[in-house]
Amino acid sequence: MQRVFSGIQPSGVPTLGNYLGAMRNWVALQADHECLYCVVDLHAITVWQDPATLRQQTREMAAAIIACGVDPERHIVFHQSAVSAHARLAWIFNCVARLGWLNRMTQFKDKAGKDREAASAGLYVYPNLMAADVLAYHATRVPVGDDQRQHLELANDIAQKFNHDYETTFFPVIEPLIIGEAARVMSLRDGTKKMSKSDPSDQSRINLTDETDVIASKIRRARTDAEPLPSEIAGLEGRAEARNLVGIYSALSGISQAEVLAEYGGQGFAGFKDALAALTVDKLAPIAAEMRRLLADPGHIDRVLFAGAARASAIADPIVAEAQALVGFLPRPQV
């Protein structure tokens, strides 16, 4: 059985983008894979996080993963900082990856913005830690949204260079799984920007915890153009906002984009937005309710995460120990 690994940063409330691009696929993969899903708090602090908020958001993210349908008994849900193998392998990868490779990462450029000198060193080496996350488990399949594609290509470059430098075949090739009609959900305010849990504008996104009326109002107010919806997919060309809403509708309903346009093409956005709002509420309300139920007992969430971390360590520790031996480190003492 192939091993799946994926992660999500506790840097805000999970959004519809996280759900459609990643978490929904995480749930589907459980049937025929061994899955590890990680709340990546080490990644989150590459930009400033208030400590109390980080604690809260880590539990919230764990609750969201479970509420979406991940089974933490059959699979593994844990927080990254509790498994030291990630940081230990990341250090080795810091020494394998080349500056030239990191300089090409578009996410660093986006996140660091104009004042690159003021970005944390962690933000720069972020992709090396991400490679370590996956490779510490010898995971081969990684379900993510489209924005993570470049990072996973880099992870494969790192694995290959490690194998080459140490004359081994130790690290496997990773296959990114970028699935579905909404692998890149865009902001509701600007169809050229991705929907993000860390966007300063709450109107730009649907949070999994949004109340029904908030979801409806955000969708009704979502930016669109003045033309009616096209009847065919080719008519979405150059209309980023329309394309985004049609993609979301298609992903949530399981109906192809062509069929969505066959139904709503030629009409203005008002009726389509009402239908999209109803569909979104229908899919997200049960998840929000389950999240609230889980979050009422934070002790339970902590126990799930601790148990997951112990099981994750049991897989990763021997793999990272072997990587360390290949590098030439003496063994760690048994404690």
Chain contacts with ligand TYM (rule: CB under 6 A): 5-9, 17-18, 20-22, 40, 43, 130, 133-134, 142, 144-145, 147-148, 183-185, 194-195
The distance of closest approach from Cβ of residue 173 to ligand TYM in the complex, given in angstroms and rounded to an integer, is: 14
Distance CA 143, CA 30 (A): 12
Q: Do residues 159 and 135 make contact, with C-beta atoms less than 8 angstroms apart?
A: yes
The distance of closest approach from Cβ of residue 128 to ligand TYM in the complex, given in angstroms and rounded to an integer, is: 11
Instruction: Give 121 or 335: the residue with its C-beta nearer to ligand TYM.
Output: 121
Residue 247: exposure state from Cβ atoms within 10 A (0-12, 13-18, ≥19): buried
Instruction: Give 240 or 265: the residue with its C-beta nearer to ligand TYM.
Output: 240
Distance CA 73, CA 37 (A): 12
The distance of closest approach from Cβ of residue 148 to ligand TYM in the complex, given in angstroms and rounded to an integer, is: 4
**Distance between terminal CA atoms of the chain?**
31
Distance CA 96, CA 249 (A): 43
193 is catalytic: no
Instruction: Give 64 or 288: the residue with its C-beta nearer to ligand TYM.
Output: 64
Q: Do residues 106 and 150 make contact, with C-beta atoms less than 8 angstroms apart?
A: yes
111 is catalytic: yes
Fill in the DSSP letter of residue 137: T
Chain centroid, CA 219 distance in Å: 22
Which is the catalytic residue, given 161, 194, 218, 273? 194
Which is the catalytic residue, given 111, 161, 193, 283? 111
Using only C-alpha atoms, the chain has a radius of gyration, in whole angstroms, of: 21
By Cβ distance, which residue is nearest to ligand TYM?
21
Per-residue b or e along 42-56, where b marks 16 or more CB atoms closer than 10 Å to that residue's CB: bbbbbbebeeeebee
DSSP conformation letters of 195-210: --TT-S-GGG--BTT-
Instruction: Give 111 or 300: the residue with its C-beta nearer to ligand TYM.
Output: 111
The distance of closest approach from Cβ of residue 184 to ligand TYM in the complex, given in angstroms and rounded to an integer, is: 5
The distance of closest approach from Cβ of residue 124 to ligand TYM in the complex, given in angstroms and rounded to an integer, is: 14
114 is catalytic: no
Instruction: Give 22 or 158: the residue with its C-beta nearer to ligand TYM.
Output: 22
Instruction: Give 107 or 217: the residue with its C-beta nearer to ligand TYM.
Output: 107
Candidates 262, 238, 260; CA nearest to 251 is 260
The secondary element (H helix, E strand) that includes residue 28 is: helix 24-29
The distance of closest approach from Cβ of residue 228 to ligand TYM in the complex, given in angstroms and rounded to an integer, is: 26
Which is the catalytic residue, given 114, 161, 197, 218? 197
Task: Give the three-class secondary structure for 329.
Answer: coil
Query: Which positions are catalytic?
Result: 111, 194, 197
